[in-house]
């Protein structure tokens, strides 16, 4: 009985805390986001199985359609420029900066057809979200074992060409909210050069005007997304990987500074 009596008080307390405590807003939104995404995944799993019979990149269409509304509940909006660059025919590798788990919403905002991601293997064990990632054809790599990661990239290059796929890679390798770009790892560029497919850089503006992990702030805000012209790799060899990495890093860092409301770094070394 006491628990039932306390429920109305708790329900009244939540909106009060949302109004007076930015820290509570941060944790409330984060917990809601994780929980809601897991629920959406649970609903989407049977839809994907019915559509494709199992693991298939075409399931990303279903996942994209189901997830795109989540941004409204979190107060996040997107301004996208350069969408025409994603109209490139055939396979290509997308490289983008990586700031938080919110990147998933931006990815789903502009995800082209027949495109999936390369992600850390740990994601596969995240309950219903891990299952839906597997059904969407996401390529999982073990970041702790370089040899395993390289073999996965070799296989991914072959699959890209055989199945006309696009692959989305976060070349920083981990989340970064320091107002710049972390040095890029070479995997995505090895992949593009080996498959002889273009690289399309995509840049998300800094989240620092509304989302700060260390300060525990999560307000409403707008993310600017800039899709840059493709970088061709035709005729390139392994000797050209460093130069194409440098070129990608430079254009992305320049775009990041241009579209971000605030950055406090001139950027690190590239590799």
What confidence tens digit (pLDDT) does each residue in 151-163 have?
Answer: 788 888 888 999 9
259 contacts 181 by C-beta, under 8 angstroms: no
pLDDT at 79 over 90: yes
In a domain, 65, yes or no: yes
CATH number of the domain where residue 155 is located:
3.40.1130
The predicted model gives 251-266 an average pLDDT of 81
24 is in which domain, residue-wise? Answer: 9-259
In a domain, 219, yes or no: yes
The predicted model gives 112-118 an average pLDDT of 94
pLDDT at 268 over 50: no
Pairing relationship of beta strands 199-204 and 211-212 according to DSSP bridges = unpaired
In a domain, 268, yes or no: no
**Highest averaged pLDDT of the listed ranges 9-13, 19-23, 30-34:** 30-34
pLDDT at site 148:
65
CA Rg value for the chain:
20
pLDDT at site 15:
77
What confidence tens digit (pLDDT) does each residue in 134-190 have?
Answer: 999 999 987 666 666 677 888 888 889 999 999 999 999 888 888 889 999 999 999
The predicted model gives 212-231 an average pLDDT of 95
- Number of separate domains in the chain: 1
In a domain, 266, yes or no: no
**Is the pTM of the predicted complex or chain greater than 0.85?**
yes
In a domain, 147, yes or no: yes
In a domain, 221, yes or no: yes
């Amino acid at each position: 009985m006491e628990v039932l009596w306390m429920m109305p008080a708790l329900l009244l307390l939540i909106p009060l805390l949302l109004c007076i405590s930015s820290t509570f807003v941060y944790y409330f939104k984060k917990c809601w986001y994780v929980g809601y995404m897991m629920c959406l995944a649970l609903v989407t799993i049977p839809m994907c199985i019915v559509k494709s019979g199992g693991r298939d990149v075409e399931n990303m269409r279903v996942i994209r359609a189901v997830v795109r509304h989540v941004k409204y509940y979190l107060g996040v909006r997107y301004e996208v420029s350069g969408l025409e660059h994603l109209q490139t025919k055939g396979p290509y590798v997308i490289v983008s900066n990586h700031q938080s788990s919110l990147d998933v919403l931006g990815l789903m905002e502009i995800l082209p057809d027949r495109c999936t991601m390369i992600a850390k293997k740990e994601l596969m064990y995240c309950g219903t979200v891990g299952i839906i990632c597997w059904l969407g054809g996401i390529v999982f790599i073990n970041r702790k074992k370089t040899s395993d990661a390289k073999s996965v990239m070799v296989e991914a290059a072959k699959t890209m060409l055989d199945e006309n796929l696009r692959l989305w890679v976060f070349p920083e390798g981990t989340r970064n909210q320091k107002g710049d770009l972390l040095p890029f790892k070479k995997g995505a560029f090895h992949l593009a050069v080996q498959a002889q497919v273009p690289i399309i850089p995509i840049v998300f503006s800094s989240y620092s005007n509304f989302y700060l992990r260390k300060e525990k702030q999560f307000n409403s805000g707008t993310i600017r997304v800039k899709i840059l012209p493709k970088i061709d790799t035709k005729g390139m060899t392994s000797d050209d990987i460093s130069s194409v990495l440098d070129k990608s890093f430079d254009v992305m860092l320049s775009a990041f500074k241009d579209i971000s409301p605030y950055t406090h770094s001139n950027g690190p070394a590239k590799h």
